[in-house]
Structure 1
Amino acid sequence: MIGYVTIGVKDMEKAKAFYTALLEDLGAKVIFDMDRIAMIGKGMDEPMLSVCIPYNEEDPSPGNGNMIAINPGSKELVDKLYHKAIELGGTCDGEPGQRIPDMFYGAYFRDPDGNKVAFYQFG
């Protein structure tokens, strides 16, 4: 149902480098790239992450309560990608761990622009 999610960034090259390096283990790459917007994902037929310089050219601002959640397919990948995000310049917003016993495992970080992202695994 979701085609893509867009987040505002200050530096397109930095954002593309961060997200392509972070998500390459999931098969993601830059699919579509124009001056102020780029789509990152596996293909146009699957959900994508879009990074962009805001249309009004004002500074981007992460929404309070907004978050992108990505299911990489296992708890091990949640851990791996969380640590990779931190190594790439993200900041911790909740270390990897079991949030709901036997149901939800998650890890949270903020990208260099302050956007909140979660990696999670159900079950």
Structure 2
Amino acid sequence: DEGRVELALWLCKPFNGQPATAGNGSMVALAANSRAQVDAFHDVALVHGGSSEGAPGLRPCYGPDFYAAYVRDPDGNKLAAVCRAAG
């Protein structure tokens, strides 16, 4: 929907089992309208000094159409772009 804003707060243990820190266990996820936007997010992050934490792709553990990419910005913050639309 145009103008719709979706906010979610998930509290989880870090996947690697280590203590939560500013760069481990916290992340900002951005909604993407297409898988192409997720791909572009990942590419642009790498061009601008970020590092990959997970290449664009399906993550079936979150649902059959959960397509995401994970990066760290140059300061170490973890970011994700997520598209839930069918491919």
> What is the TM-score when the length of structure 2 is the normalising length?
0.67
Q: 2:77 is matched with which residue: 112, 115, 119? A: 115
Shift of 1:63: 4.1
Shift of 1:102: 2.9
> What is the TM-score when the length of structure 1 is the normalising length?
0.48
> For the residues of structure 2 that align with 1:68 and 1:62, how far apart are their CA atoms?
11
Moved over 3 A (4+): none
Shift of 1:88: 0.4
5+ unaligned residues in a row in structure 1: which ranges? 1-45, 48-60
Q: Number of residue pairs matched?
A: 65
> For the residues of structure 2 that align with 1:95 and 1:84, how far apart are their CA atoms?
12
User: 1:78-123: CA deviations, max 9, x gaps?
Assistant: 0011100000000010000011163200000000000000001013
Are residues 1:84 and 2:44 paired?
yes
Query: Is the partner of 1:86 in helix, strand or coil?
Result: helix
Are residues 1:105 and 2:67 paired?
yes
More strand by share: 1
AA of the residue aligned to 1:117: L
User: 1:18-53: CA deviations, max 9, x gaps?
Assistant: xxxxxxxxxxxxxxxxxxxxxxxxxxxx79xxxxxx
Query: Is the partner of 1:80 in helix, strand or coil?
Result: helix
- Alignment match, 2:31: 71
Structure with the larger RCO, 1 or 2 (CA within 8 Å, 6+ apart): 2
> For the residues of structure 2 that align with 1:109 and 1:63, how far apart are their CA atoms?
11
